[in-house]
Copies of this chain bind each other. A is one copy, B any other.
Amino acid sequence: MSSATPSPATPEAGHGGAVPSCSEVVPGAPRLPDVQERAWMGFLATHSELTRGLEAGLAERFGLSLSALEVLARVAWHPDGRLRMNDLACGALLSQSRVSRLVDQLAGRGLIERSACPSDSRGVYAHITDAGRELAGRALEFHFQEVRSRFVEPLEEEQLRLLGEVWEQLLGRCPGP
């Protein structure tokens, strides 16, 4: 997804910028105060730019999407080398059906195999294969290197710590049903 929050139009806005400058504002346009707007718009723009870059690198080198890598890696490094479909969906930011189709895809490439769950016939295990473990290792290594160079290294340790606090304050305000 990438979706943005509307920003007041900049007349004949420049063609290149990731975040519109928002210097020229039309009277009457609802806006957020500057500090808030920069924090919010930058959040969206940064997410968009970073995930696009990471997706592109992974796709080119390993034929994996971020979601596929997430699934593959979680199965690969589970102590049992297998994980039930539902448990896969829970930790990831993915729906059950998406996980089912991702596993289809990875199974088609011989990176994962499905097998029945003996203790609960409803369940299905996703098993990592040798090829899957090997690819997961290389892809994850590359991916973390990318995250370091694009996200970690441009920031100070203190900024990273503060980001962690911010996410903690923002998350988990969804009371269950």
Contact = CB atoms under 8 A, between A and B. Distances in A.
Given A5-B143, A67-B4, A155-B170, A26 B160 contact: no
Contacts of A169: 154-155, 159
A38 B167 contact: yes
A107 interface: no
A108 interface: no
A42 B155 contact: no
Contacts of A51: 1, 3
A177 to B, nearest CB: 11
B6 A46 contact: no
Interface string A162-177: 1111111111111010
Interface of A: 1-20, 26, 28-32, 35-36, 38-40, 42-51, 55, 65-67, 69-70, 72-79, 83, 86-87, 90-94, 137, 140-141, 143-144, 147-148, 150-152, 154-155, 157, 159-174, 176
A93 to B, nearest CB: 5
B144 A91 contact: no
Contacts of A6: 69-70, 72-74, 140, 143
